[in-house]
Structure 1
């Protein structure tokens, strides 16, 4: 899922080409390439860019400014941002910022040079939009909420042997730290690095036995042993939320609030 998110974020060649229009390389209306029976004016070049990539690029630019406003108004917990970064690292099996950046640049073509750039342009904007898509389950009217709208945030410890799982559960019940025990004992390589954290997930994302247990726990509650094809799990639910709007519904509202007016006839029907 994380890799798909990155692919969706990868910017097209249009965005990179569009930068040419703003780098001040030549005077407006000048000739930017010339030779024997060859002449490419800036006006012709920019028109070609508009014709080929204009819709996509203009949408990107407008959406970025809308998202910048959302981010400015959002109260994003920096700890949550770091948690997201660590999730990416675990997903790709790397430990350092430099290794993660290399994967983002080389495998996905993401034009980010620093981890701060990645946080600002991807993680923080995603968290800000999620804040508009969801609400705490405590404030939701569960009588009108479909179960498919509910997401659970959970951590788990996975081991192969039932006896080992029973020993770990006894330690948890005796007050030992769940995250430390997950890091020490869990055989799930991705989540173990994060103290067992799995993040939020909805119905259909986990194997049935795991899902049934997680969705029946209260926030802060730890499960009994849950056996699946992967081994024995100990699950702790850390939060729940309700998806009240889709991404498209949120963006439509934001576009409406922005009162967009298109002055170029070529893009009159774009928004």
Structure 2
């Protein structure tokens, strides 16, 4: 769980705003930190993001009795400013990738989420700001899901309390009975029973060991009996895929081994995406720019 929380924290979106295409640093008075395509991100943008990411935490730490020296030590030892800068680049690269590959959001669903979070009398500008943040978040999550992979099996089952009942159901299936009908009528797993016993696509680590071993080994479309701590399952595997991408970030987030899948498949994919962006010149980090040289965002003293 701690690993998953770290993963979710890592993909929070950068709060800086993209500036106008082709803007030169002389027009703003702030040097360029990095470029991505025609977009320019300045040192001021990075400063703003560092303040957004850790400014409140620093203020709370000071209010809680920690000294500036202690906080500075934490920031330096954990390389927080560089981590924030790298996350800023990652978010922008993923959004750039999404634009190139036609990945967007469902406008109606996005509006429903926005208005569900705001009071009825919210300022329209506040709604627009929240909509922009949530749209970016959802797009980044979608790119992560599409490029995180795991071995998966699509199975359905009928859970019963004893082997005799399982054998009777198996015999009915072999005689031509409809699996979904039997599942809806007789499975003790009421959640999957409502879907005809369908468990959807499951990744390794989702189920208890005997059940998981079965869905990744038994022949396809051949119902078999499997015993687990929950009882006896009549299991049918409909399909299997190696290194299948996740359908959604929610599907990834709720997997038992989400952090492992992320590290083993998404991280190498992203590192190659970034390497290619730098090789092509699409991503350019300003020579000599060091995020650790930027000020720690201590609150201003009156």
CA displacement at 1:233 relative to structure 2: 0.5
Q: 2:91 matched to which residue of 1? A: 60
Distance 1:261 1:124 in 2: 25
In the TM superposition, 1:2-151 aligns within 5 A as: 8-9=7-8, 15=14, 17-19=15-17, 46=45, 48-52=47-51, 53=53, 55=85, 56-69=87-100, 71-72=101-102, 121=139, 124-126=142-144, 128-130=146-148, 133=149, 150-151=151-152
Q: Do the aligned partners of 1:156 and 1:198 also contact (CA within 8 Å) in 2? A: no
Q: Are 1:250 and 2:269 matched, yes or no? A: yes
Q: TM-score, normalised by structure 2?
A: 0.48
Q: 1:262 matched to which residue of 2? A: 285
Higher relative CO (CA 8 A, sep ≥ 6), structure 1 or 2? 2
Distance verdict in 2 for CA 1:205–1:12, change over 3 Å: closer
Q: 1:186 matched to which residue of 2? A: 187
Q: Do the aligned partners of 2:184 and 2:194 also contact (CA within 8 Å) in 1? A: yes
CA displacement at 1:264 relative to structure 2: 7.4
Q: Which digits, 9 at most, give the CA deviation of each residue in 1:87-107, with x for residues without a partner? A: xxxxxxxxxx89x969x979x
Q: Do the aligned partners of 2:216 and 2:240 also contact (CA within 8 Å) in 1? A: no
Q: Which digits, 9 at most, give the CA deviation of each residue in 1:162-196, with x for residues without a partner? A: 44433332332233332343333322244334332
In the TM superposition, 1:201-220 aligns within 5 A as: 201-202=203-204, 204-220=205-221
| Largest Rg, 1 or 2 | 2
Distance 1:183 1:118 in 2: 40
Distance 2:17 2:214 in 1: 51
State the number of aligned residues. Answer: 199
Aligned-partner SS, 1:250: helix
Q: 2:67 matched to which residue of 1? A: none
Distance 2:97 2:206 in 1: 31
CA displacement at 1:198 relative to structure 2: 4.1
- Structure 1 gap segments, 5+ residues each: 30-42, 74-96, 135-149
Q: Do the aligned partners of 1:151 and 1:200 also contact (CA within 8 Å) in 2? A: yes
Aligned-partner SS, 1:261: strand
Aligned-partner SS, 1:157: strand
Aligned-partner SS, 1:213: helix
Aligned-partner SS, 2:89: helix
Q: Do the aligned partners of 1:262 and 1:268 also contact (CA within 8 Å) in 2? A: no
Deviates more, 1:52-61 or 1:4-13: 4-13
Q: 2:230 matched to which residue of 1? A: 230
Q: TM-score, normalised by structure 1?
A: 0.53
Q: 1:176 matched to which residue of 2? A: 177
Q: Do the aligned partners of 1:101 and 1:112 also contact (CA within 8 Å) in 2? A: no
- Structure 2 gap segments, 5+ residues each: 21-26, 30-41, 54-83, 104-108, 119-128, 245-263, 293-302
Distance 1:67 1:20 in 2: 15
Q: Which digits, 9 at most, give the CA deviation of each residue in 1:188-242, with x for residues without a partner? A: 244334332242322x54323223322321222221x212110110111122222
Aligned-partner SS, 1:18: coil
